[in-house]
Amino acid sequence: MTISPPRRRRHAQLRRRVALAALVVALGAGSPALADVTGVTGVTDVTGVAGVRGPAPAPRAFDTGPAREALRRLLPHHADQFTLVPDPAAGADRFTVSGSAGAITVRGSTGATLLTGVGWYLQHVAGADIGWPGDSIGMLPARLPAVPAPVTRSALVPHRYALNDTDDGYSGAYRTFEQHQRQIDLLALHGINEVFVQAGAEYPYYRALQGFGYSAAELREWIPGPGHQSWWLLQNLSGFGGPVSERLMRERAELGGRIAEQLRGLGMTPVLPGYFGTVPPGFAARNTGAKTVAQGDWAGFDRPDWLDPTSPVFGKLAAAYYAEQRAVFGDSGMYRMSPLHEGGTVGTVDVKAAATAVQKALHAAHPGAMWAVLGWQDSPKAELLAGVDTSKLLILDGLSDRYNRLDRETRWGGVPYAMGTIYNFGGHTTIGANTSVWIERFGPWRAKAGSALKGIAYLPEATGTNPAAFDLFTDLAWEPGTIDQRKWFADFAGRRYGRPDKEAAAAWEELRAGPYSTSSGLWSESQDSLFTARPSLSAVGAAYWSPKSMRYPADAVRRALDHLLKVDPKLRGSSAYRFDLVDTARQALANHSRVLLPQIKAAYEAKDLARLRALTAQWADGERQLDAVTGSDPNFLLGDWLAAARSWGADAAEQDRYEYDARSILSVWGRRSTSEGGFLHDYANREWSGLIGELYAPRWAAYFETLEESLVRRAAPREIDWHAFEEEWARRTTRHPSGADGPSGDPYALAKGIAADLNSWEGGVR
């Protein structure tokens, strides 16, 4: 990547900040003074970021350079046909698109809004899609079409938030800056203006806590590996996947600082983790006057202790934390904190007073900053809400589309909230979302008397799947009137592959009516695959916490696959078509696992050895095809996941440690007590090439072998220690093809073979 001289200077300055911070540690300087040592006093001129220091400046033109650079990355062959005009006087979150053929003008209130205008133009005028993942920009004409008449759009809500607390862990904690940059470009293109930044979040803890009685070595043992840090920040666990090296933490901090800088350059808000009291063991013994509360167990892990925010030490540690964070990440107008997440223990702490203290510490460091808290289970508690200035609080509702009879104004007393969706848990590759529920609720919830709905929150636990869901959910915040779901999917089919096609339209109508129209009431995601489940004749899902049965008629996906195979050959060359074809073939095959397993169970119970062998052979063939078809698209390769983890290690031992961190979260998740007692094994199951062939298929083969032995010997099947089986896989360092090698196989031929075999199986062995 070519970096312009100004950006090189900014990156060099950031590296110096991190290096100087590390030097201060080496010299034994006190943490609270770090901001003065580095000369960093905070960001006082951040376009589009609310809550920073200083008076609000009068509207003035902003630098469109970052938006222009993003446009060149997104549309390398067409970027010069766009003129980007800063228009801060137009009001917040507003763009206007106009222009003649080959000369498109986009006016916008921020750099990100300019990109949102470009995204609107591609979607509604040029008929092309840049999805997450897959695009059809190769189908654009050399000269872009004119805008029939100028169009202006304003965001319907001020907050368009993205990324779950778990995204870094489940989407890839070892990603490069260029991968994060691509993510930011896509979020801006789709109208997002607030983005959670987790990379490097451990570094402020590491720096600050050395001023409160802990050695660097102790903290490196306490901080988990990057793949598991999401749950450490949520105060759920510590230590697992580590120890981490100081070099790794410095480099991750530099990465996080660059991500935050990239967001600010586009006028977006980098949402940084705030401090609410997480401390290592023994904190009270090392700090006079400190009071800590043991947080008990989370899924078999011992949770970190909670420092009572009302104690005097809390304010000092929070100030040190924010000073360290500012030194590397700069300031922001929004901070993420979810105290007492998933069963935290209150002890004798006054939650109302604690919440007041947490917000006071935040505002001491960042006057007027917003506190973003996840709405999940029984959080945020009424006591917490009672203790804060709720005009500076935003609840990110993770349950908006999951349950019925929701009244968020009554539940949270009128506190501002963003309607959210979590249609993906653990990074599952399953297709589907409750899109009809989004459409049915967003408009009425926003229009009701006394509505507190102030935003949308895009919160899948992992990103980079379900491009249709991403497109539609983000459209909610920009499209006036109620979205017609049927028309939206028909239009999506047209732009997804570059132009309308009757077979593409028929495919997406099947997908719309099936997996993308699942209902609320109990679930917000679709079922996962039995091919990825721990073997059992009674298996009904892979992840313990996922749906136990189909949430839509399986024939919908099967018919969609047939239609996609008939799409005009001229439209099959895009990465969007390839991804959708592979994903649909994968899902059709995965759904068949729920038909096949009961047949295997019946054959075993009937003691029909020949039939059992025929059916388990069909199962093995399905897994082989699944591994092959996912290997034909770069978005389904285990090799990339593993190679990324190893790339952060300085030597073989460190590389192996980080690979284990990355492998374990896909399989055992944690140690035996958490994997089994906490039901976390296979929580992050996904149908990826390499993962299927090396873990899931051998696991089922071993199980089926015990069933055959049982029938032959007329004895109970021998037991298999599945945790040991999976832990052995997680400890491996085998290599797999990655994007650098390129995908293998012809996705069309492989998908066509799957369709043919499904027809054969449906009409054959039963």
- Of 133, 682, 722, residue with least CA distance to 425: 682
Residues 362-414 pLDDT 10s = 999 999 999 999 999 999 999 999 999 999 999 999 999 999 999 999 999 99
The yes-or-no verdict on residue 569 having pLDDT over 60 is: yes
Higher pLDDT, 89 or 267: 267
Burial classification of residue 197, based on how many CB atoms lie within 10 Å of its CB (0-12 exposed, 13-18 middle, 19 or more buried): buried
Higher pLDDT, 187 or 40: 187
Mean pLDDT score, 65-86: 98
Peptide linkage before 553 cis (omega within 30 of 0)? no
Mean pLDDT score, 32-52: 33
The yes-or-no verdict on residue 23 having pLDDT over 70 is: no
Q: Do residues 218 and 191 lie in contact, with contact meaning Cβ atoms separated by under 8 Å? A: no
Alpha helix stretches (DSSP H) within 28-148: 34-38, 65-74, 111-121
Residues 510-533 pLDDT 10s = 999 999 999 999 999 999 999 999
- The count of other CB atoms within 10 Å of the CB of residue 683 is 27
Q: Do residues 520 and 403 lie in contact, with contact meaning Cβ atoms separated by under 8 Å? A: yes
Mean pLDDT score, 441-448: 98
Mean pLDDT score, 170-175: 98
The yes-or-no verdict on residue 22 having pLDDT over 70 is: no
User: Residue 130 contacts by C-beta under 8 Å, 6 or more apart in sequence?
Assistant: 74, 119, 122, 137, 186, 189
Name the residue type at position 220. R
The yes-or-no verdict on residue 584 having pLDDT over 90 is: yes
Measured distance CA(351)–CA(259) in Å, rounded:
33
What are the structure tokens assigned to 138, written together? 């190769």
- Give the chain's length: 766
What are the structure tokens assigned to 157, written together? 């809500």
Report pLDDT for 59: 65
- Only one residue has tokens 């944690």, namely 670
The yes-or-no verdict on residue 24 having pLDDT over 50 is: no
Name the residue type at position 591. N
CA 63-67-69 angle, 5° bins? 110
**DSSP 3-state assignment of 665?**
helix
- Of 351, 346, 289, 285, residue with least CA distance to 316: 289
Report pLDDT for 36: 32
Residue 506 binned pLDDT confidence (cut-offs 50, 70, 90): very high
Alpha helix stretches (DSSP H) within 501-651: 502-513, 555-565, 575-605, 609-630, 638-646
Residues 188-217 pLDDT 10s = 999 999 999 999 999 999 999 999 999 999
Cα 149 to Cα 96, 128, 145, 166, 477: the distances in Å are: 10, 19, 12, 42, 22
Q: What 3 state SS string does 366-404 have?
A: CCCCEEEEEEECCECCHHHHHCCCHHHEEEEECCCCCCC
Q: Do residues 51 and 366 lie in contact, with contact meaning Cβ atoms separated by under 8 Å? A: yes
User: Residue 672 contacts by C-beta under 8 Å, 6 or more apart in sequence?
Assistant: 723, 727
Strand order across the 278-279 sheet:
278-279, 305-307, 292-293
Domain ranges across the chain: 42-154, 159-483, 516-763
- Only one residue has tokens 């015990």, namely 706
Measured distance CA(104)–CA(99) in Å, rounded:
4
Report pLDDT for 39: 31
Report pLDDT for 500: 97
CA 176-179-183 angle, 5° bins? 140
Q: Which fold has domain 159-483?
A: TIM Barrel (3.20.20)
CATH number belonging to the domain at 42-154, selected among 3.30.379.10, 2.40.50.100, 2.40.50.140, 3.40.50.300: 3.30.379.10
Report pLDDT for 77: 98
Category of 277 on φ-ψ map: left (φ > 0), alpha (ψ -120 to 50) or beta: left
CATH number belonging to the domain at 516-763, selected among 3.40.50.2020, 1.20.120.670, 1.20.1050.10, 2.40.160.60: 1.20.120.670
Reduced DSSP (H G I as helix, E B as strand, rest coil) percent helix, strand, coil of the chain, to 5: 50, 10, 40
Report pLDDT for 766: 36
Report the DSSP pairing between strands 417-421 and 393-397: parallel
Peptide linkage before 243 cis (omega within 30 of 0)? yes
Residues 271-326 pLDDT 10s = 999 999 999 999 999 999 999 999 999 999 999 999 999 999 999 999 999 999 99
What are the structure tokens assigned to 404, written together? 């019925």
Mean pLDDT score, 107-133: 97
What are the structure tokens assigned to 79, written together? 């970027």
Measured distance CA(689)–CA(702) in Å, rounded:
19
Report pLDDT for 43: 31
The yes-or-no verdict on residue 352 having pLDDT over 70 is: yes
Name the residue type at position 718. R
Measured distance CA(37)–CA(587) in Å, rounded:
55
Residue-averaged pLDDT of the chain: 92
Residues 86-108 pLDDT 10s = 998 887 799 999 999 999 999 99
The yes-or-no verdict on residue 9 having pLDDT over 80 is: no
HSE on the CB side for 337, CA within 13 Å? 22
pTM over 0.85: yes
Name the residue type at position 465. T
Residue 693 binned pLDDT confidence (cut-offs 50, 70, 90): very high
Q: Do residues 503 and 220 lie in contact, with contact meaning Cβ atoms separated by under 8 Å? A: no
Q: Do residues 233 and 273 lie in contact, with contact meaning Cβ atoms separated by under 8 Å? A: yes
Residues 133-149 pLDDT 10s = 999 999 999 999 999 99
Peptide linkage before 312 cis (omega within 30 of 0)? no
Cα 426 to Cα 5, 53, 348, 677: the distances in Å are: 40, 38, 34, 18
Residue 17 binned pLDDT confidence (cut-offs 50, 70, 90): low
The yes-or-no verdict on residue 46 having pLDDT over 50 is: no
Q: Do residues 232 and 179 lie in contact, with contact meaning Cβ atoms separated by under 8 Å? A: no
The yes-or-no verdict on residue 47 having pLDDT over 50 is: no
Mean pLDDT score, 22-31: 40
Measured distance CA(649)–CA(628) in Å, rounded:
30
Residues 240-264 pLDDT 10s = 998 999 999 999 999 999 999 999 9
